[in-house]
Structure 1
Amino acid sequence: MPTGVAMRDARELLFDAAERVLLREGPEGLTSRAVTTEAGCAKGLLHKHFTDFDGFLAELVLDRIRRLHAQGEALLAAAGQGSVVENLTGMLTDLFGSVAVAIVSLTISRDGLRARLRNDVPTGVPILSEAGQVIRDYLAAEQTYGRIPAGTDTDVLGLTLIGSTHLLFADRTGVRPTADQVAAFVRSVVPA
């Protein structure tokens, strides 16, 4: 790895490598050595840009939360357009088909990481809490368009969608649910 690499490039290189390791080996296989080996760089690069490994992992999780917020903006922009079930299915499938399930496992398994994230994510499970808010905001927007009935508790519905979809995807070694299976679940709980 050449010296003088911009921090943003190094961060992305390391974050992407960490995701690959996390998806392949789970939280137990995610070490600083595994990340730098996967990234094809010296171990010192990680420690040059981050105070320690939990600091690196906290920044990884926060970066993925920022990406989730960008997805949430796109979902919110889709309110009033297309099918509510299709919009939710796309968001939930993209979210849980990515590294999100592995990040949930990672944050649950590392006390030091959870402690660091509490400043930015004071309650709930990082990524799941933010995803739940994204979905609840979308459902509330659809309610203003009359596409979700006025009496629907969008907070409960949003949490139901996030929690249940997480359970559908939680077994990282099993067969992932298809978009059709996720759509069938969404259709069963979203009021018409």
Structure 2
Amino acid sequence: MPRGVPIAEPRQHLFAAAERLIAAAGPGQLTSRAVTGEAGVATGLLFAHFANFDDFLVGYAVDRSFQIAGTAAGLPARAGTGTIAANLSATILATPLIVLRGVTRLMACRPVLAAQVEAVLGTGSTVLQSLERAVVDYLNAERQRGRLPAGVDTEALALAVVGVLHHVALIDATDEVAHARIRHTVTALVESFPAVTS
């Protein structure tokens, strides 16, 4: 992008650049110069919006955690419709994998960000925690409707579902392969309960 061209959403432009860098070289290679270089903007743009580079990383982690939470929020309302496996897969795949890869890899590399995100968004809001909570609430609603057996441990099943997403987000794979693996595994997890009428 040519220098001097106005950017409608500079923060999101910089966040997307950070995600591309994480995908290409890993979070350990992130610097303010690398991010602005990838974004095609002057270094000063980053510091016009963030106090320092650590503040940028917190802003990124908060933004993406909030985005994932917003995507997950509607899952419990799907209870009783469609199939359980399809509802879970659609929700956990609604966030682009480059976003999931970026934020999960960064949080794994910089664990201190978890507390900083929770200081802004509240306890249990970091990255995939809100998604896991939404999955638990959804599975509980399906169990109450008789679409999951009464004895199903919804907390364990939710952890397994989100764990699959986390694992795939941390490894290198094309989106097509990753989506197929996630859908296949989520379906296998749900259908492992013989009484399920998904």
So what's the TM-score if we normalise by structure 2?
Answer: 0.80
Give the fraction of aligned pairs with identical amino acids, expressed as a percent. 34
TM-aligned CA deviation for residue 43 of structure 1: 0.8
How big is each residue's C-alpha offset from its partner over 1:98-133, in whole Å with a ceiling of 9 and x where there is no partner?
A: 321332221221255345335247777931222211
TM-aligned CA deviation for residue 24 of structure 1: 2.1
Q: Structure 1 unaligned runs (5+)?
A: none
TM-aligned CA deviation for residue 96 of structure 1: 7.2
Q: Structure 2 unaligned runs (5+)?
A: none
TM-aligned CA deviation for residue 144 of structure 1: 2.9
Query: Which residue does 1:31 correspond to in 2?
Result: 31
TM-aligned CA deviation for residue 165 of structure 1: 3.3
Query: Which residue does 1:132 correspond to in 2?
Result: 132
> Is the deviation greater in 26-35 or in 138-147?
138-147
Point out 4+ residue stretches in structure 1 off by more than 6 angstroms.
121-125
The CA distance in 1 between the partners of 2:171 and 2:63, in whole Å, is 24
Q: Structure 1's 93 and 125: CA in aligned 2 closer, same or farther, altered over 3 A?
A: same
SS for the counterpart of 2:79 is coil
Q: Structure 1's 132 and 103: CA in aligned 2 closer, same or farther, altered over 3 A?
A: same
Contact kept? 1:55, 1:116, Cα under 8 Å: no
1:87 aligned onto 2:87: yes
Contact kept? 1:54, 1:113, Cα under 8 Å: no
Contact kept? 2:117, 2:125, Cα under 8 Å: no
The CA distance in 2 between the partners of 1:104 and 1:98, in whole Å, is 10
Amino acid at match of 1:58: V
TM-aligned CA deviation for residue 134 of structure 1: 2.2
TM-aligned CA deviation for residue 179 of structure 1: 3.5
RMSD value over aligned CA atoms?
Answer: 2.7
Query: Which residue does 2:147 correspond to in 1?
Result: 147
> Is the deviation greater in 117-126 or in 148-157?
117-126
> Is the deviation greater in 78-87 or in 118-127?
118-127
> Is the deviation greater in 44-53 or in 95-104?
95-104
Query: Which residue does 1:51 correspond to in 2?
Result: 51
Contact kept? 1:36, 1:46, Cα under 8 Å: yes
Query: Which residue does 1:78 correspond to in 2?
Result: 78
> Is the deviation greater in 29-38 or in 103-112?
103-112
Query: Which residue does 2:17 correspond to in 1?
Result: 17
Query: Which residue does 1:67 correspond to in 2?
Result: 67
The CA distance in 2 between the partners of 1:170 and 1:161, in whole Å, is 15
> Is the deviation greater in 9-18 or in 55-64?
9-18
SS for the counterpart of 2:9 is helix
The CA distance in 1 between the partners of 2:66 and 2:143, in whole Å, is 25
How big is each residue's C-alpha offset from its partner over 1:149-183, in whole Å with a ceiling of 9 and x where there is no partner?
A: 222221111011111332244212x4564444323
The CA distance in 1 between the partners of 2:49 and 2:180, in whole Å, is 42
